[in-house]
Every structure is written in structure tokens, then in C-alpha cells.
């Protein structure tokens, strides 16, 4: 069994938190000229092109039982939809706002664990969930007043990703992480390609393809590379440090996104949204702390 190396795990998670918002920023730029569906298709095609050769060269096993194949297909559909919804939201929202709203996902996971899996989460974490949702509403309110329903898309992303994580948990111990990402990339590419072949000649809005410029091609490839690298960094970080150590680090993605949003788009959260982001981070970190406490002691009823 590989020994824990917490400093390496923390470093890898920090790299994830820095790289993931860069990919989102590129998607926000490209979303103004490239159809979102085409952007998502290229992102998964690049993932498949990178990881399939890695599987062959390293001799990793990617055979799956029928049950795992079905769950992997469901996971891939959730992944494709989640990225589509996130990139769509970035057309309308500041980068930091969209990512902060999506961080309602840990609260959703907690509630799903209670109501779907029957886990006892205690009144303190219920309270933290309520506070976290309140912070999310503070971030959504100014954005909703300005752009309308697209401000709710990161909440859809969070709900979608919560189910994505639940499915991933069901198969994580039965599959190699790199192989799983490779198979997902192939599934998404093979599944989306026929859709474009049918819809593009018909001119279906949102499901047509355009010819990118040289710079747009570079950025599209960059999204695929960064997205693949970010997921691998997160996976590798969990090999070297326990999730309880790494979970608080994920909230660093919000300040990284704020910095990148300001550098690239000159966007900063307004007063109410900034307070809401702080509330989300505090509530989320409290939930993480309570998870660590209850991992070693029985939860308070």
C-alpha cells in the first residue's frame, strides 16, 4: 500500500485549484464565439486522445463489468451535462460568482447522504447547510437581477455534480481512475459525434459546428488538456493525502477564480456577492471540520 505523503497531496490539490479556473476562464472566452456543445465535444475528444494512449502504454486494465459499464455511461452523461451547464453559465456570470455558487455542491452531497443514503449528519451540519445555501442566495441575487435564469445554472451544476460524485463512489474501488477518465472521454466523443452529424446539416441552434480560427483551436485544445490535467491532479492528490486533509483546500479554487476573473475580465464580485462567497466558504469549511470530527467520534444527534 502506498504511504501517505500529505505535503505532495496538498501541492497537487493546490495545482488543481489553480488550473481548473484557468480552463473555466478559457471556456468563458470561447463561449462567446464557439457553440457550447462544440466546445464540450472537443474537451472530451482531447481527453480521450490524451488518455487512451496512456492506457495502452502503461498496460492499465480498462475492462469493466456490465454494471460498471452502465454506471460509467451514466457518469459520462452527467459529466457532459455538468460541463455544458457550467460553460453556459460562464457566458453570463463573472467567473468567481459562477464557481462560488457551484460550491453549494458539498451541502447538496450532505443532504443527499442523509435523505438518500440514510446517513446521520446531525443538527450542526444541517445548520451549516442552511447557512451555506443562504450565502449562495446572496451570490445569486445580484446576478439573477442582472441576467435572469442563467444565474441559476451553477446550482444545476452543483446538483448534477453531486449525483456525479455519488455514481463515482459506486465504481471508484472497481476501476482505475485514469482508465475511467479515458473510457468517459471515448464514450462522450462517440456519443456526441453522431448528434453533430445529424444536427449540423439541419442548422439546429446550439448543435451546429463552426470552423475555429487558429487561436481558437489553440484555446480549445487548451481546455481539453487543462480539464484532463485538473482531474488527474485531483485523483493523484487523493493517492497521497486523505480526503479530510484535502477537502478544505478545494475552497482555494474560489480565490484563484476571483484573481483570474479580475486579471482576464476585470470582473470582481460586488459587495453582496463577496459577502455571500465568504459565507459559503466559512460554512463549507465548517462542514469539512465536522466531517473530520464525526469520523472519529459519534455524531451529535
Whole-angstrom distance, CA of residue 180 vs CA of residue 191: 16
The reported pLDDT for the residue numbered 213 is 92
The reported pLDDT for the residue numbered 79 is 92
The reported pLDDT for the residue numbered 294 is 64
Q: What is the pTM of this model?
A: 0.82
The reported pLDDT for the residue numbered 296 is 54
CA distances from 71 to 20, 40, 189, 253, 286 (A): 25, 21, 17, 28, 32
Q: What is the pLDDT along the chain (301 residues), one digit of tens a residue?
A: 455 677 888 888 889 889 999 999 999 999 889 999 999 999 999 999 999 998 888 887 777 888 989 999 999 999 999 999 999 999 888 898 898 888 887 778 777 777 776 666 677 777 877 888 788 888 887 778 788 888 899 999 989 988 887 888 778 778 888 888 899 999 999 999 998 888 877 777 778 889 999 999 999 999 999 998 988 888 788 777 766 667 667 788 888 898 999 999 988 787 788 888 888 888 877 777 766 676 555 544 4
What is the domain partition of the chain in residue ranges? 6-296
How many alpha carbons lie under 13 Å from residue 46 in its C-beta half-sphere? 19
**Cell digits of residue 23:** 480552463
Whole-angstrom distance, CA of residue 49 vs CA of residue 47: 6
The reported pLDDT for the residue numbered 53 is 93
The reported pLDDT for the residue numbered 21 is 93
Angle between helix 95-102 and helix 253-265 axes, rounded to 10 deg:
160
Amino acid at each position: 500500500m502506498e504511504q501517505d505523503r500529505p505535503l505532495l497531496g496538498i501541492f497537487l490539490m493546490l495545482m488543481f485549484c489553480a488550473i481548473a479556473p484557468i480552463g473555466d476562464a478559457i471556456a468563458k472566452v470561447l463561449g462567446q464565439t464557439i457553440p457550447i456543445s462544440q466546445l464540450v465535444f472537443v474537451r472530451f475528444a482531447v481527453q480521450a486522445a490524451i488518455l487512451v494512449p496512456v492506457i495502452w502504454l502503461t498496460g492499465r486494465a480498462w475492462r469493466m463489468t456490465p454494471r460498471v459499464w452502465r454506471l460509467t455511461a451514466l457518469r459520462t452523461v452527467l459529466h457532459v451535462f455538468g460541463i455544458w451547464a457550467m460553460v453556459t453559465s460562464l457566458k453570463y456570470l463573472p467567473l468567481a460568482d459562477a464557481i462560488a455558487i457551484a460550491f453549494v455542491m458539498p451541502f447538496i452531497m450532505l443532504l443527499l447522504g442523509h435523505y438518500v443514503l440514510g446517513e446521520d449528519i446531525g443538527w450542526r451540519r444541517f445548520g451549516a447547510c442552511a447557512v451555506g445555501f443562504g450565502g449562495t442566495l446572496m451570490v445569486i441575487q445580484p446576478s439573477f437581477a442582472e441576467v435572469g435564469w442563467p444565474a441559476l445554472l451553477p446550482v444545476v451544476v452543483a446538483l448534477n455534480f453531486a449525483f456525479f460524485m455519488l455514481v463515482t463512489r459506486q465504481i471508484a474501488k472497481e476501476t482505475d481512475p485514469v482508465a475511467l477518465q479515458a473510457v468517459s472521454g471515448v464514450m462522450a466523443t462517440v456519443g456526441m459525434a453522431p448528434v453533430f452529424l445529424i444536427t449540423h446539416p439541419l442548422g439546429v441552434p446550439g448543435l451546429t459546428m463552426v470552423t475555429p480560427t487558429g487561436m481558437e483551436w489553440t484555446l480549445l485544445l487548451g481546455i481539453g488538456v487543462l480539464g484532463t490535467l485538473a482531474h488527474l491532479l485531483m485523483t493523484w492528490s487523493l493517492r497521497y493525502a486523505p480526503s479530510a486533509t484535502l477537502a478544505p483546500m478545494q475552497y482555494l479554487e474560489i480565490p484563484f477564480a476571483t484573481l483570474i476573473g479580475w486579471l482576464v475580465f476585470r470582473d470582481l464580485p460586488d459587495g453582496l456577492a463577496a459577502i455571500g462567497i465568504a459565507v459559503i466558504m466559512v460554512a463549507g469549511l465548517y462542514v469539512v471540520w465536522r466531517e473530520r470530527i464525526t469520523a472519529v467520534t459519534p455524531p451529535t444527534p
